[in-house]
Amino acid sequence: MNKQFLLLLLLFSGRVFAQQECNCRKNFEEMYQKIRDNYAGWTIKVNPGNQAAFDALSQKVREKSLTSTDPKTCYKILKEWTDFFQDGHLFINTQVQIEENEPQELVLARAAKIPVQKYTTELPFLNYLNTNTGKLNEVEGIWESDDQSYRLGIVRDEKTAGKFNGFLLSKRDNMWVAGKTKFELFELSPGRFRSVYYYADFTGEATFSKLVKNILVMDGIYKFAKIHPVPAVPVSDDDLMHRIPDYRVEKLDSNNTLIVLPPFTLPNAEQYVSELVTRNAALITSSKNLIIDLRNNPGGDENAFTPLFPYIAQGAITRKGGKFRASQENLILLTHELKSIQAYPQFRETLEPKLRTVVRKIESNMGQMVDGPDKTFSFPQNQNNPQKVVILVNKNTASTAESVSLESKQSTKTIIMGQNTKGLADYIEVRDLGMPCFGWRLAFALALSSRLPGQPIDNIGLKPDVIIPDNEYDWVEYTRKYLNNIK
């Protein structure tokens, strides 16, 4: 929402500091001052109980930074200091990846544990498929990823019942050779699989996969289209619209509809969600229950969730404004942001009233914490469908995705299911400022959640009303069955 202004700041800071000698000490001193004077969580994170430890760490980092001019070394030094705050909203944005690569021997060790299947060229695998026509599981065959990066075979494991191995049909490099297993599928029921996918560095990720006719959907990773044997019934237009897209509205059964939302960091996320909801309004209201999938949603624009409030609310829903730290630099930052949004009607409409209120309060209460304005979404009492709303969350549900989940609990319709969220919604209203050297930017929170100090979730997470067990992989099916059993 303030990208244009921040870009101008970045360009300006580049001109100002281009003529100066860069070293890590300059970045540390700037960072220390900005966080001390403007970070909303300063007096909570730095307190009498840890003041001595914090001062000792600061002195240690200051001394280590004194002679460092290498960006990688500097980042490691400064990150030790930012890690003290244990706040995922306080970090250094280096613009480019700066973390060191892990030792190659570790990658090789992981690679050695992943087997190579016996089919290392396509022709013998084709012969296997053609010879066993009528005996194959529907997942066995030749598949191609949706971006055409991978052409793979999937074959039944010879030792483990219900297991299938996806393997490369051609060499990609010296470690990813033809026949190397790219993923494993463990059948839960026909067409539903617990899956383990192996990335380029041979680290594995567990996920859920499902067959939709000739498409294998591997949640959050890839979609694969079946090339051979050609399925008798390919996916339909309805499948392509409602069952296969990453972000979709899907009718699960006569009682339940699922909506999978995009990350709120998506450009124009509010418009995207609004169009998705509007286009599928009849589908949503045709079901007794609505399941909203917020798993792995990192947050972003909280307004992206508001198109769903009419289906959740049983009256008013209030979005609390937070408590802003009134400092001179925060005043300058928000005043410039207020000016920068004037050229963007979509941002001006939603942000200007709030920013003007906060700026006015900061001007009159310098050195204090000031309340941001609440926003109330008013709805009439609604007894129509959906009658129950489940919000699915997991350990990667963060920031504003956590906040809107809590807001939704203002309706008695709402049930939160899954596992504890990330715990990144106590320190809010994140902005970033340019640092003197290396083109880095420092991000931190200008405000505290109005839940503090009484209801913190920082590094704890939001606990669901219903915990989904660790050994459950198809969370949507688990939720569907749960809702159908509610009396």
Tens-binned pLDDT, residue by residue, of the chain (487 aa): 343 333 333 333 333 333 357 889 999 999 999 999 999 999 999 999 999 999 999 999 999 999 898 999 999 999 999 999 999 999 999 988 887 778 999 999 999 999 999 999 999 999 999 999 999 999 999 999 999 999 999 999 999 999 999 999 999 999 999 999 999 999 999 999 999 999 999 999 999 999 999 999 999 999 999 999 998 899 999 999 999 999 999 999 999 999 999 999 998 999 999 999 999 999 999 999 999 999 999 999 999 999 999 999 999 999 999 999 999 999 999 999 999 999 988 788 889 999 999 999 999 999 999 999 999 999 988 778 999 999 999 999 999 999 999 999 999 999 999 999 999 999 999 999 999 999 999 999 999 999 999 999 999 999 999 999 999 999 999 999 999 998 7
| Three-class SS state of 136 | coil
Residue type present at position 79: K
The string over 182-192, giving b where at least 16 C-beta atoms fall within 10 Å of a residue's C-beta and e elsewhere, is bbbbbbbeeeb
Among 166, 157, 154, 225, which Cα is nearest to 197's?
A: 166
Query: From start to end of 91-203, where are the E strands?
Result: 91-93, 141-145, 151-156, 163-168, 181-189, 192-198
Query: Is the residue at 194 inside a domain?
Result: yes
Element (H, E) at 477: helix 475-484
Pairing mode of beta strands 289-293, 256-260: parallel
Give Cβ neighbours of residue 76 (< 8 Å, ≥ 6 apart). none
- Structural domains counted in the chain: 1
Residue count of the chain, please give it: 487
Tell me 46's DSSP state. Answer: S
List the domain range (segments joined by +) for residue 153.
107-235
Query: Is the residue at 342 inside a domain?
Result: no
Identify the residue whose tokens are 């695998």: 125
How far is it, in rounded angstroms, from Cα 215 to Cα 165? 16
Query: Is the residue at 147 inside a domain?
Result: yes
How far is it, in rounded angstroms, from Cα 118 to Cα 456? 54
How far is it, in rounded angstroms, from Cα 342 to Cα 324? 22
**Pair of tokens at residue 184:** 């494993």
Identify the residue whose tokens are 């596992």: 419
How far is it, in rounded angstroms, from Cα 255 to Cα 446? 43
Give Cβ neighbours of residue 272 (< 8 Å, ≥ 6 apart). 247, 262, 266, 304
Residue type present at position 152: L
Query: Is the residue at 217 inside a domain?
Result: yes
Element (H, E) at 209: strand 204-212
Query: Is the residue at 133 inside a domain?
Result: yes
Contact 170, 151 (CB under 8 A): yes
Query: Is the residue at 434 inside a domain?
Result: no
Alpha-helix runs per DSSP H in 295-453: 309-312, 328-340, 345-364, 400-408
The CA radius of gyration of the chain, in Å to the nearest whole number, is 26
| Three-class SS state of 428 | strand
Query: Is the residue at 161 inside a domain?
Result: yes
Query: Is the residue at 43 inside a domain?
Result: no
pTM for the whole structure: 0.91
Cβ atoms < 10 Å from Cβ of 374: 12
Return the CATH number at 170. Answer: 2.40.128
